[in-house]
């Protein structure tokens, strides 16, 4: 195998830069449902269901395109099939598949990145996530030399760079950079009226399987 492309559960996009240059003949995708990520932060069962269902649907889409996907799926029957962590699954895949290189979109969680870097054991190519307006390197450059870091400063930097809600002379619309003070106020006894009904969809077979897993 030439490249094993690692796709995390919050990176499910067919336009992902991780798949740039992908060759079905010599490359493959690696995905994993792992117990560590399902329990690291307390979350509602509905969120877990949505997350895992989305991963499985994305896996099926790739396979429909005849892309090889090595997928580690959690099951109710055997706990060891769930995988302890991304790092543990990655070590197993590297030993089994013997790829020459790993490709990964930079994770949003630094903990996950460090874990995968330590477990890789071979070249790991990190690519930028195109869903963001900025990069880690750009943030570090903007923070260099500053004694104090505030989100407000980087927020203004990005507004100016991308000309977002700015007048031609570079001033913010409404003559203010934010309305944080007003946004922190409570609604009071009169809550905002919702004049729409949230979209809903009946669960398909894949989602029903995940519901059964999460509820177990």
pLDDT at 86: 85
Q: What is the mean pLDDT of residues 31-51?
A: 86
- Give the count of beta carbons closer than 10 Å to the beta carbon of residue 95: 9
Which pLDDT value is given to residue 190? 74
> Reduced to 3 states, what is the DSSP secondary structure of residue 18?
helix
Query: What pLDDT, in 10s, does the model give residues 85-119?
Result: 888 899 999 999 999 999 999 998 888 899 899 88
Q: Residues 23, 2: contact at Cβ < 8 Å?
A: yes
Give the pLDDT score at 103: 97
pLDDT at 77: 56
Give the Cβ contact number of residue 124 at 10 Å.
16
Q: How confident is the model at residue 79 (pLDDT cuts 50, 70, 90)?
A: very low
Number of H helices, E strands in the chain: 8, 5
What fold characterizes domain 3-130?
Rossmann fold (3.40.50)
* Domain regions of the chain by residue span: 3-130, 136-183
- At 89, which helix (H) or strand (E)? helix 86-97
- d(CA 18, CA 13) in angstroms, rounded, equals 9
Residue 6 has pLDDT above 80, yes or no: yes
Q: Are 164 and 158 in contact (CB under 8 A)?
A: yes
């Amino acid at each position: 195998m030439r490249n094993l492309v690692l796709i995390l559960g919050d990176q499910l996009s067919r336009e992902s830069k991780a798949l740039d240059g992908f060759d079905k003949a010599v490359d493959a995708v690696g995905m994993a449902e792992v117990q560590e990520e399902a329990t690291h932060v307390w979350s509602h069962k509905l969120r877990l269901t949505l997350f895992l269902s989305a991963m499985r649907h994305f896996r099926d889409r790739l396979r429909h395109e005849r892309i090889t996907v090595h997928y580690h799926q959690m099951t109710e029957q055997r706990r060891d099939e769930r995988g302890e962590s991304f790092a543990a699954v990655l070590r197993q895949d590297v030993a089994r598949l013997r790829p020459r290189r790993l490709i990964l979109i930079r994770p949003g969680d630094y903990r996950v990145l460090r874990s995968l870097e330590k477990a890789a054991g071979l070249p790991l190519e990190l690519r930028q996530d195109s869903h963001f307006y900025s990069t880690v390197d750009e943030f570090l450059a903007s923070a260099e030399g500053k004694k104090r870091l505030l989100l407000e400063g980087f927020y203004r930097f990005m507004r100016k760079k991308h000309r977002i809600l700015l007048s031609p002379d570079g001033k913010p619309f409404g003559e203010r950079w934010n309305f944080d003070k007003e946004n922190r106020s409570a609604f009071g006894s009169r809550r905002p009226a919702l004049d729409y009904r949230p979209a809903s969809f009946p669960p398909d077979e894949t989602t029903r399987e995940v519901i059964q897993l999460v509820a177990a």
